Structure formats: C-alpha cells, structure tokens
Chains A and B, each alone.
Chain A
C-alpha cells in the first residue's frame, strides 16, 4: 500500500486521472467504430507537431523564469523565418533550413530583448510574459501588413500587399520533415519518423545542454538564486541565455508544426499555442520551477491524446461535441493547479 501511495505521489494525481481517461478512450474507441490506427496516427502526428513547442518551456522553467507564457515571441520569430523562406522561393529541405536559420536569428534578437525585460521584473515574469506575448503579436500584426513582402503565394491577392491570414506551403516545403523516412504501417497510419527523429534530436540537444557547465549553472540559478550568486554565477546572464534558448526552440517548433500542417498561419495564430503548450508541460509533471525532457514527452502525449481522442470517441458515443470545452477545462485547470502549488 505504501508503495502504491508513493507511486501516486511521484506520478501525481492529474497525470493518473488524465492517463486513465485517455486509456479508457482508447479501449472504448473500437466499440463506437473509431479506428485505432487512425487515432494512433493522429496522436503521434500531433505529438510530433507540438512537442518542440512544449520543449521550449524547459530552459526558462529551469532557470527560474517561470512558465513561458510569452511563447508567442518565439513563434513570431519562426513565422518570420517561414515567410522569409517562402519569399525567396526556397523549396524542399533548403526551404526549411532557411526558415530555421532566419527564425533562429530573429529569435536570438527577440529573445535577448525579451530576456532583458524579464530580468528587470523578477517575481512577476509570468503575468508580464503573457502580456508581452499579446502585445508583441499585435505589434507584429501591423508589421505583417506593412513589411514589403512580394511573393504572390503569401500576399493578399486583391491588394498585392500585406500577408495572407493563412499561407499555403504546398509548393514549398510541405511535409518535408514529416515524410523523411516515413513508415506506412497501414492505410491510415503513416508513422512520421522524420518528425519524431527531429524531436529526439532537439530533445537531445536540450538534454546535453543542461549537462554542460552553462546548463548546470542555469539549473542552479533556477533552484536557488542565492546559492547561485554566492557561487559566483551571473544570474542575469544565465536567465537571458535561457530566454534566448526558449525563444529559439519555440521558433523551430512552429516551423516544424507548419511543415506538417501545410499552412503558415499568420496574425493572431500564435496566441492559440500559449496555454496548450504551458498546460502540456505541466500535465507531464513539471512544476513552475522544475521541468525535464520526460515531462515534455509525457505531457505532450497525454495532452494531444486527449485532444484527438475526445472529439472522435465522445462524438460517436453521445453525439455531443464537448471536446473544445474539455480542452479549455483541462488545460486551464492544469495551469491553475500548478500555480497554486507551493513553490519547491
């Protein structure tokens, strides 16, 4: 009994409840005529699409900057990379690489400024990050209208200026990472090897980074700032690096998402990723100041699992679409739960 209690305590009630719910959905799915392979396909594809964005939470959480509610800053950098790559007409892998490159460069600049701001508001990072994210998105909305993009694929057809709300990448780099070494297991289950490999690569980089001297110092800043200061670590520098890293990973994450989705969504779209990404890492067992790669993987799987399974299974079962509401309640409830727990 004690062992069971210990397991529950380690694993955490939210994960057990959500995990159990997801398992039940998978078990009852065939009864309502929902194909298991389609469901698995959806869950895995969506995992690959959003896992890197969830991964981008880790550096900032580890360095004590809290949950990155300002993820739109990074996403906008990624979008900038994507439209720039399209603008110059790069296709295939080259297109994605150019998008990554421009995205990362933009993310470095944005992230540096964002990090400088967060260093001045220690203790209030999260609420300020949320509002920075929102303001930045609306600022960039103006830029999307003004910046001199010319490629007819990306600008509004009737005016010839200002970017479209959704830009198709069909002719540029659609599915270029997803289809790399993809394994067709059944007619409706194509295993996106490339996307998962890419996530593993990114996760490995982050993991390896936290094994380096800088990474360890960053963790120290997050776990105990006073100790870190006493040990001669430059706290502000570590925090800035973590914010830049988070922003860069988010930029890469949105490009991976877009190449699988087939469209670059502009304007307000980054705002839709904020709370799901934060909720996913928390669902995986992260807290406001501790997160690991395992948290990212478990959390994204559970969260995307719920997101894909509830509409299909519950709709076929009772003909009511409650999935959207379940998503709102689970993701926001998870964030409230994490915020109300004692730090450390």
Chain B
C-alpha cells in the first residue's frame, strides 16, 4: 500500500508541469474564441512540424549531457541542404530526400565538432552547446552571405541578393509539403498527413531500438555516472560524441521536415529559435534535464504549441492588446525552460547535501562490527 502511494506521488510530480499547462490551455481556449476544428487542425500541423525536432533532443539527455541547445547546428545543416535542392529545382519528396543526403555529412561533421567541444566543457554542456550554436550561426551566415553565389555557383539568379552573391533572406521552397502530400487523408475537416507521421513514427521506433543496442546502453551508463562508466571500460568521450552526432543529424532531418511543412525558409534567423522551442516543448511534456521519454516529447509538443496558438488571441481579448499575449507566450517559453533547469539543478544540489550529511552521520557513528 505504501509503495502505491509513493508511485502515485511520483506520477503526480512527473506530470505536474504538463498538468499545469493543460490547465492554462483549458483556461485560455474559450477566451481565444477559436473553433475546435481549427485548433485540432493546427495541433496536427504543429505536431508534424515540431515533434521530430523535439525527438532529436532525447539522446543527449540520455547520455547525461542535458538539453542539446547545439541542435541548431543540425538545423543549419538541414537548411543548407534545402537551399541547394531549391537551387537545383528538385521538387517534392525526392528533393527532400536529396536535401537530407546533402545535409547528413555536414550535420555529422558539425556534430562531431560539437561533441569534441562539449567533451572539453564537462559539467557545463548546456551553456557551451548554446554558445556553440550562436558561434556556428556566424560561420553559417558568412557561408551563405559571401561564399554562396561567388565561390559556390548558383543556377537560379532569383535566389541571390540583388548584388549578385549571397542567398536572399526568404526563400520559397519548391519542395514544400513534399512529405505531407505523400499520404494525405482528411477526417472530418482535419488534414492528416500520414506520410509525415510515418516518418515521425519511424524515428520513435529507432529511438526505442537504439536504447537497447550496445551503444544505447553505453550512453545510458555514461549518463548515469561518467566515471563509473569510464572505469567499466566504456569509451566515455567517444560515446558522448556519438550521442551529439546522432542528435545533430536528427535535428537536421527535423528541420527539413519542419520547413517542408512551412514552405518558406527564413534563411538567416530561421534556425536560431529551433532549440528554444524544442527544449521548451520537451520540458512542458514533463521531461527533466536528466530524463526524457518519447511520450514527454509528443505530449509536450502538442501542449506547448496549443498554448502558443491560443495565448496571443486570449491575451488580446482579455486586455485589448495583442502584444501582451505575444510577450506572454515568449515569457512562458523561456520561463518553462528556466523553471525546469532550476528545479533539476536544485534537486541535484539537495541530493548532494543529503549524501554529505549521511556520510557525516556514518563517520560520526561507525556501525558496530
């Protein structure tokens, strides 16, 4: 009976954040005056767009490296792939697959680099990965603004800035909806692109399978305790690099799926917020910095984007100012990441203090032999 109580308590604490968000949404939905089918349609769209990106964050969490804010590296690789495919004029799903093929080696390279950098910054992976994303973003911009069109030839002049080199700020993708159109079915006014959902399903299966492989087990061991894993003969640094590499490549595919649904590419600042929204969605789903599951990712994406959708309108109808709702949802997205990071870190510190005090008691009163 006691065990059950503990279990229920655990379940409650684990689902406290999603519950809170569900409440906020339930409160805001009637205020926003959106119709049910509109909301449902939008949630499906958002799930397609974002859940792959969110799923890309799972492996580094497992390897004990926290939220991989460096996933923007992968997102940028994906965008480079898409830009080239758009230039070559390959439409539809083949174009997307080609983009993924071009982007994969770039993402792997960036992921390897990211992993190496993070190995030098153990204990502060999250801030380092975030700064790394901003740093690589500078190089990405340099590549697209000055190298593309001058050193790297472009076939389509319409994609370049009027000065003759450099990619334009916004591109319309001719691969738009490539995956979405594959198996599109309509149920009661709600469009369900089965093709994209199958790809997302595939990645879930991959994640589940991967956890059971040798590499996945190593990753979990490293995530539990780096030093113990290291003494047990696991190549700790290599495992960490692998987790970041896989995460980066998945983020690259995620960004391709995201953009094919949107249909236009915001060349220079499209990737910046990918990590923030993915991280926020994952944490809203009840994940922590050290534990994240597939349900966390999917539920989180749905809830977070539901909030994102209804908040500005709700804010507008309550206060008469649309900007207020806009700021509120930005505040909530950053706030939820802050809250999750604080709670995790606080708990870890408390555990450490508990260990220390127990050690002290053990030293003061040695057990009788």
Asked if A and B are interacting partners, one says: yes
Residues in B with CB closer than 8 Å to A69 are: 127
Choose from B128, B335, B337, B344 the contact partner of A336 (Cβ within 8 Å).
Answer: B128
Within 8 Å of chain B (Cβ to Cβ): is A126?
yes
Given contacts A131-B337, A135-B334, contact A333 B126 (CB under 8 A): no
Kindly count the residue-residue contacts between A and B in the assembled complex, taking CB atoms under 8 Å apart. Answer: 111
Residues in B with CB closer than 8 Å to A126 are: 124, 127
Give the A interface residue count (CB, 8 A). 35
Within 8 Å of chain B (Cβ to Cβ): is A28?
no
State in angstroms the CA–CA spacing of A117 and B341 once bound together. 11
Residues in A with CB closer than 8 Å to B137 are: 328, 332
Contacting A at CB under 8 A, from B30-65, are: none
Within 8 Å of chain B (Cβ to Cβ): is A231?
no
Within 8 Å of chain A (Cβ to Cβ): is B93?
no
Give the B interface residue count (CB, 8 A). 39
One of A3-11, A139-147, A201-209 at the interface = A139-147
| Nearest neighbor of B323 in chain A, beta-carbon distance | A145
Q: Report whether A121 and B135 are in contact in the complex, using a CB–CB cutoff of 8 Å.
A: no
Task: Give per-residue flags for B344-362: 1 if the beta carbon is below 8 A from chain A beta carbons, else 0.
Answer: 1110110000000000000
State in angstroms the CA–CA spacing of A75 and B342 once bound together. 22
Within 8 Å of chain B (Cβ to Cβ): is A325?
yes
Contacting B at CB under 8 A, from A285-344, are: 320, 322, 325, 328-329, 332-333, 335-336, 339-341
Residues in B with CB closer than 8 Å to A20 are: none
Within 8 Å of chain B (Cβ to Cβ): is A134?
yes
Choose from A128, A138, A145, A340 the contact partner of B331 (Cβ within 8 Å).
Answer: A138
Given contacts A141-B327, A340-B117, contact A120 B135 (CB under 8 A): no
Distance to closest chain B CB from A188 (angstroms): 30
Contacting A at CB under 8 A, from B111-127, are: 117, 120-121, 123-124, 126-127
State in angstroms the CA–CA spacing of A341 and B117 once bound together. 10
Residues in B with CB closer than 8 Å to A329 are: 135, 138-139, 142
Q: Report whether A134 and B138 are in contact in the complex, using a CB–CB cutoff of 8 Å.
A: no
Choose from A120, A138, A141, A275 the contact partner of B134 (Cβ within 8 Å).
Answer: A275
Choose from A145, A320, A336 the contact partner of B135 (Cβ within 8 Å).
Answer: A336
Q: Report whether B345 and A130 are in contact in the complex, using a CB–CB cutoff of 8 Å.
A: no
State in angstroms the CA–CA spacing of A314 and B253 once bound together. 37
Choose from A124, A162, A322, A339 the contact partner of B146 (Cβ within 8 Å).
Answer: A322
Q: Report whether A135 and B331 are in contact in the complex, using a CB–CB cutoff of 8 Å.
A: yes
Choose from A121, A130, A145 the contact partner of B127 (Cβ within 8 Å).
Answer: A130
Q: Report whether B127 and A328 are in contact in the complex, using a CB–CB cutoff of 8 Å.
A: no
State in angstroms the CA–CA spacing of A95 and B139 once bound together. 43
Within 8 Å of chain A (Cβ to Cβ): is B224?
no
Within 8 Å of chain A (Cβ to Cβ): is B251?
no
Q: Report whether A131 and B128 are in contact in the complex, using a CB–CB cutoff of 8 Å.
A: no
Q: Report whether A332 and B342 are in contact in the complex, using a CB–CB cutoff of 8 Å.
A: no
Distance to closest chain A CB from B151 (angstroms): 13
Q: Report whether A130 and B123 are in contact in the complex, using a CB–CB cutoff of 8 Å.
A: no
Q: Report whether B121 and A339 are in contact in the complex, using a CB–CB cutoff of 8 Å.
A: yes
Residues in A with CB closer than 8 Å to B99 are: none
Q: Report whether A325 and B142 are in contact in the complex, using a CB–CB cutoff of 8 Å.
A: yes
Within 8 Å of chain A (Cβ to Cβ): is B330?
yes
Distance to closest chain A CB from B353 (angstroms): 11
Choose from A120, A131, A275 the contact partner of B349 (Cβ within 8 Å).
Answer: A120
Choose from B132, B335, B349 the contact partner of A122 (Cβ within 8 Å).
Answer: B349
Distance to closest chain A CB from B241 (angstroms): 14
Residues in B with CB closer than 8 Å to A339 are: 121, 124, 127-128, 131
For the complex of A and B, 9 pairs with smallest distance between CB atoms: A328-B138, A138-B331, A121-B345, A332-B135, A340-B120, A329-B138, A135-B334, A131-B338, A127-B126
Chain B residues within 8 Å of A, Cβ to Cβ:
66, 117, 120-121, 123-124, 126-128, 130-132, 134-135, 137-139, 141-142, 145-146, 321, 323-324, 327-328, 330-331, 334-335, 337-338, 341-342, 344-346, 348-349
